[in-house]
Structure 1
């Protein structure tokens, strides 16, 4: 294979005087902005019968759900010290600059926020979820691109034509090469082990593919639960599959059988829920576009 691409970017995107804006933070900002713009477009076209102000509240609550849910879930299931932080260092929950967010927790946070907002506005909960689902992949795709720029969450070694070198994985590369002469030769030849760019796999599957399918499916009359079911099923399947070529979190490793990861374990319920929701959609009413009045469409 030819010389692999080396994933080595400056993590700082912009310098505004003494303030540094990191790429990963910028991806979060672009995610929320993109989701809000697409959500407002969907609202104006009758996908949810609420005013702009009501949608603004939903967007804000969903954003808080992503941040709080994602961080709390990470600390409960992925933090290196286990859950002892609750009584030994509770302030670790707020050290977001150290990294650590979980999609599954963020999703749960959005669902809780959506349930509370739906009850306030007397809307069916799954009408709200069906409305939100097509815009979520924007954040998923940008988040994975941020992981790629940061050179983190890399994949397993491989010799595919598109394999890449991740300098941040040097210590892991060296440990693998120490016990395998063939890998030692690769290390000497390329300066690191070529690896699957698993972040890009997830960016394409969870971002581009999911957005295209959900957006197109939601643009025509469809039964309740279908969009939510497709979202859960696709994400669960895509995440479960990519985990086979992605290195598990170092602090957790494999949980069972030498291949089951925490990401796979937490994605299985999404696959089951997705199938159940799609089944429920077969007997659910087909939703027509809302006809918002002038106050709602402002």
Structure 2
């Protein structure tokens, strides 16, 4: 069994000002999109110019934060929302959903695309290979916060989390950081290093994230107030990831099929 490092969730404290590691992880993700997005926007096939990346990051950040919060409340805490709609604004209590954040980004890119005279999918194709950095960093933030830990296990790398009870658990946040962050970034960055059909990068990112998340859910504890939804193993994360796998695969297939049909 490994020892949990027990890092202070507060990275910087100056008087009443406290900066949490989790917030810094979001910042890392946004900065990565800005820096690498400018690099990609210099490519001749980019639908936008490098100077438009700042606005793209702003729209994307709003989509992630608003969509993530709304998605968490609707997907994971809907009962409490019905009893008290104001829970939506209690962001200090925590709670963000990737699936909600993803939908928020799609809406934000649709709005930004209208401004830039390009399509939503052209913009999400730019974001797709960059987003995994933020996803991976966010999972590291979950690990530091000792939240979203895994199921109990006896594997040699299990850890006892401070607020996860006395039993050793899978460090499932690190599994997600590796798959959703490192692996997903490597695949998408290499794949998009040359021109690809519109929608292909978005489809591949959606499909692979869905596959990785579905897999890690076998090791991650479901939210206590939801539990398993079926068969004593199906989680809300898996239910939300299943349509991602299907839709992403269809997007990727039709993007390439359209190109082949045009060439033929």
Alignment counterpart, residue 164 of structure 1, candidates 152, 159, 168: 159
* Residues 218-259 of structure 1, C-alpha deviations (whole Å, 9 max, x = no match): 001222222111101110000001001111000100111111
1:127 partnered with 2:122: yes
1:8 is aligned to 6
C-alpha separation in 1, matches of 2:49 and 2:177: 32
C-alpha separation in 2, matches of 1:157 and 1:211: 29
The alpha carbon displacement at 1:59 in A equals: 1.4
Q: TM-score, normalised by structure 1?
A: 0.83
1:200 is aligned to 174
2:24 is aligned to 26
1:155 is aligned to 150
Which secondary structure state, in structure 1, belongs to the residue aligned with residue 6 of structure 2?
A: coil
Aligned positions, number: 260
1:1-298 aligned at under 5 Å gives the runs 3-79=1-77, 81-85=79-83, 88=84, 90-170=85-165, 192-285=166-259
- The question of whether the paired residues in 1 share the 8 Å contact of 2:158 and 2:170 is answered with yes
- The question of whether the paired residues in 2 share the 8 Å contact of 1:6 and 1:166 is answered with yes
The alpha carbon displacement at 1:81 in A equals: 4.2
Structure 1 residues 283 and 238: CA distance shift in structure 2, 3 A? same
- The question of whether the paired residues in 1 share the 8 Å contact of 2:214 and 2:238 is answered with yes
C-alpha separation in 1, matches of 2:33 and 2:187: 16
- The question of whether the paired residues in 2 share the 8 Å contact of 1:127 and 1:224 is answered with yes
C-alpha separation in 2, matches of 1:31 and 1:59: 10
Structure 1 residues 282 and 50: CA distance shift in structure 2, 3 A? closer
The alpha carbon displacement at 1:7 in A equals: 4.3
* Residues 30-64 of structure 1, C-alpha deviations (whole Å, 9 max, x = no match): 11111211111111233523234432222111110
Taking only aligned residues, the RMSD between alpha carbons, in angstroms, comes to: 1.6
Which ranges of structure 2 fall in alignment gaps of 5 or more residues?
none
Structure 1 residues 80 and 73: CA distance shift in structure 2, 3 A? closer
Moved more, 135-144 or 27-36: 27-36
Higher relative contact order (CA 8 A, sep 6+): 1
Structure 1 residues 215 and 45: CA distance shift in structure 2, 3 A? same
Q: Which contiguous aligned blocks of 4+ residues in structure 1 show a shift greater than 4 angstroms?
A: none
Please tell me whether Structure 1 or Structure 2 has the larger radius of gyration of its CA atoms.
1
Moved more, 204-213 or 113-122: 113-122
Which ranges of structure 1 fall in alignment gaps of 5 or more residues?
171-191, 287-298
- The question of whether the paired residues in 2 share the 8 Å contact of 1:12 and 1:21 is answered with yes
C-alpha separation in 2, matches of 1:92 and 1:245: 29
Which secondary structure state, in structure 2, belongs to the residue aligned with residue 5 of structure 1?
A: coil
The alpha carbon displacement at 1:18 in A equals: 2.1
Moved more, 210-219 or 154-163: 154-163
